[in-house]
Structure 1
Amino acid sequence: MGKTIWRLVDEDFFNRLVILTPVYSALIPILPPNEHCNLILGIATLMYVFAILPLPRVTLSNEKLIIRIKIGGREVITIPKDEVISKNIICIKKTPESTMLHINHEQFCHTYPLSRRQYTKLVNALSKHWNWTPPECP
């Protein structure tokens, strides 16, 4: 795959993980103190954590763009660097309220919200490693 230069990861992971604290606080006093309840609670917690794990949705390496999407199973779209640059597959949508990463490739067209920090890191990584800056979307 080459060296990873940038990743778009879900930043809400820790916010959703905080939901476990009140759930634990509410459940622990009412559960009977036996090993089976603790085991079931532990398994349920692990399942919840794995379900919300922050998997990188968009990854840029030295040679290609990798997009991971969930449609039924897991699908991976890989686009070579030269094609991304020549066909302007990536563009940036800027509005006063937000900045979005727009990816348009064949049947796949999706927009991802970017924080200011993510946008800065994306532009820096692309200019440093690909000698290219993503254009603004029309």
Structure 2
Amino acid sequence: MVKPDPRVILKEHNIPITIQRVKILEYLIRTNEHPTADQIYSEISDEAILSFATIYNTLHLFTKAGIVNELHIDKDKTHYDIVRKPHDHFLCRECQKIYDIYDLPIQPLANDTIDGHTIERVHIYFYGICRECLKKNKR
């Protein structure tokens, strides 16, 4: 699978290209996790001159532009997810890992209308115990 080019994404969204924005977007593209702003800072602060304010401001800009989604699945932290194919999320209450859930039958509702309201996006959070933790608990 070809990874998207951060510079192309920024150009497509009319966002000026800076090394900091490129580094943050590169990280979000390559990670399979759903990091918090603090985690992003910890992972890439050595790669570019970044402050916490730069991370937060850039994530806000990316969210507003539709490049990333803010996930409010964890009541204590905001996680971030690069926008790819529409999907939902599952949070394991044991290990706190967030999993992507694809192809739920409710996703086609996006862009439909309900009671005269246009639905732009549908997002569902599932909570429970992941299969890895279930396996560990059976031992």
TM-score (normalizing by structure 1): 0.24
| TM-score normalised to structure 2 length | 0.23
More strand by share: 1
Relative contact order (C-alpha < 8 Å, sep 6+): which is higher? 1
